[in-house]
Amino acid sequence: MRQAWAADTGDDIPWNTAVPWDTVVGMSADETTTGTPATRRVAIVTGGSRGIGRAVSERLAGDGFAVILAYAGNTAAAEETVSAITAAGGTAIALRADVADERQVAALFDRAEEDLGGVDVVVNAAGRMALSSIADLDLEVLDDLHRTNVRGTVVVAQQAARRLRAGGALITFSTTVVATQLPGYGAYVAGKAAVEGLTLILARELRGRDVTVNTVAPGPTATALFLEGKTQEQIDALASAPPLERLGTPQDIAGVVAFLAGPDGRWVNGQVLRANGGLAR
């Protein structure tokens, strides 16, 4: 049996560990809520301290959003991300929360409403990946995997559906492996296919709210955790697979998210966008 664990797009979540939702590791560039203009749009990014999640946090902050990045356990990474955003003139705070815990996620949204006036964009970039053949899959691993990737998506989506302001957007994450169907990814793909299945249904349930719901499904992306443990030969093979003949970057994926979160993406709704350089449809 082969069980390999790696964070998907954002934070590494310690299993069966309670995390206090209200641990603040950074404050906004203004250091006060009164310094945030009433017209500023607000984004919550789960898994927002590392990898693709960090790139999304930085991109949205650069686009003028006040960003609340939710992280699971890596305080140092969260502090570093907030520092990078504020040093660039953006506004960000980091709050610790487990996306699969409905009380902690509700409290995260409470904080956004109390301190920043509301929520306009929610990006659920927190995720997990487990690799194993289906025959050898540890069912406890399956449960833990789906706790974050499926339950966590639903928990975040519930709060987003209830609280996003008009003109808002919910952006969730899947994977191009749903299309490529690689052996060893069965449990991971099962969870991400569930995320894709929710997308159009939720978009239709929010009829009349002026809120969009979309899913981004990255292909191989050059994050530190993706590259870890791979030989240069393996990396080169992955990079040569798409017609564009390179790995994606976290910034590539953040650009797709920024499009969906911004005014140019308002007519895209209920869709799964495979951002993979042409690797698969």
Q: Are 19 and 98 in contact (CB under 8 A)?
A: yes
Tokens (6 digits) for 27: 């404050």
At 103 the three-state DSSP class reads helix
The pair of structure tokens assigned to 11 is: 């934070």
| CA pair distance 220, 163, nearest whole angstrom | 33
CA dist 261 and 267 (Å) reads 11
Structure tokens belonging to residue 127: 């995720």
Annotated catalytic residue, options 71, 109, 188, 226: 188
Exposed/middle/buried for residue 232 (C-beta within 10 Å: 0-12, 13-18, 19+): exposed
Question: 188 catalytic, yes or no?
Answer: yes
Q: Which structure tokens are listed for 259?
A: 């499009």
Distance CA 80, CA 94 (A): 10
* Catalytic residue numbers, as ranges: 188
